[in-house]
Amino acid sequence: MRPGVSRPASRAGVTLLELLIAVSLVSLLSVGILVALRVGLNAMEKANNRLLDNRRVFGVQRILEQQVAGLMPVVADCRSGPEAPPARVLFFQGAPATMRFVSSFSLEEAARGYPRILEYQVLPAEDMSAVRLVVNELLYWGPASTGALCLGPSPERPGILFRPVEVGPQSFVLADRLAFCRFSYLERLPPPAPGRWVPAWTRQDLPAAIRIEMARKEDDPSRLPLLTATLAVRVTKLPGLPYADDLYLGQ
């Protein structure tokens, strides 16, 4: 270079086309990351829902086992009319879609509270395409509390008539979206007969066992099925009241 001649100025920089390409690549990368995050969150939510649903299945079966295990043989002062004298009978209602008994285990207080009158009822779901199992827990305070739920001996068949179960805001939904739910009861027979399952209980004693059959409305292989629960009835607790000697203890 000859003396006195200056060097041309450098024009290094980013063109508009290069800027547009860089912004486009960053945008595509951001969209890919967001899509991956959304897919991962959806998969995590589905896995959590399955886990919670499986826990509910174990919880329902565990609750039913503990409530039947805490069954207490109490009596009821049933009246066939307002002026009729009370007839003291063993308190137990067993029907295909309804069941009542007193248990030392409740959802509110577990095994630490007072005995409760448990009222199970199978009801149609809101859209009428499935059924649900609900339970009421009423405080048990003696034969008068259980007697308020019965209407006296049935004039048409053996057994006791009971008032319908009233379902309200205080009712607990144990299982929902079921294809079916039904109860049956094991009747003792004279030896050597093994016993038989009956859909309704009309005897004045307790069944040897209670069977609760349930199935989901939607068959999803990824979720645990609702298994049939066959629960033996063993009397292990009494109310601890002055009239406990009048209770049935032949289990």
Query: Residue 149 pLDDT > 90, yes or no?
Result: yes
Any domain includes 231: yes
Residue 181's pLDDT band (boundaries 50, 70, 90)? very high
Residue 242's pLDDT band (boundaries 50, 70, 90)? very low
Residue 91's pLDDT band (boundaries 50, 70, 90)? very high
Q: Report, as an integer, the average pLDDT of 109-121.
A: 89
Residue 136's pLDDT band (boundaries 50, 70, 90)? very high
Look at residue 227 in the predicted model and tell me its pLDDT.
74
Structural domain count of the chain: 1
Any domain includes 107: yes
Q: Which domain holds residue 158?
A: 44-246
Q: Report, as an integer, the average pLDDT of 27-43.
A: 85
Look at residue 244 in the predicted model and tell me its pLDDT.
45
3-state per-residue secondary structure call for the chain: CCCCCCCCCCCCCCCHHHHHHHHHHHHHHHHHHHHHHHHHHHHHHHHHHHHHHHHHHHHHHHHHHHHHHCEECCEEEECCCCCCCCEEEECCEECCCEEEEEECCECCCECCCCCEEEEEEEEECCCCCCEEEEEEEEECCCHHHHHCCEEEECCCCCCEEECCCCCCCCCEEEEEEEEEEEEEEEECCCCCCCCEEECCECCCCCCCEEEEEEEECCCCCCCCCCCCEEEECCCCCCCCCHHHHHCCCCC
Any domain includes 157: yes
Query: Residue 59 pLDDT > 70, yes or no?
Result: yes
Any domain includes 98: yes
Any domain includes 214: yes
Look at residue 246 in the predicted model and tell me its pLDDT.
45
Distance CA(125)–CA(129), nearest Å, equals 7
Q: Report, as an integer, the average pLDDT of 102-125.
A: 90
Query: Residue 47 pLDDT > 80, yes or no?
Result: no
Any domain includes 180: yes
The overall average pLDDT reported for the chain is 82
Q: Report, as an integer, the average pLDDT of 3-30.
A: 74
Alpha-carbon torsion angle 79, 94, 200, 232, nearest 10: -140
Any domain includes 125: yes
Q: Looking at the whole model, is its pTM more than 0.85?
A: no
Give the type of residue at 21.
I
Any domain includes 21: no
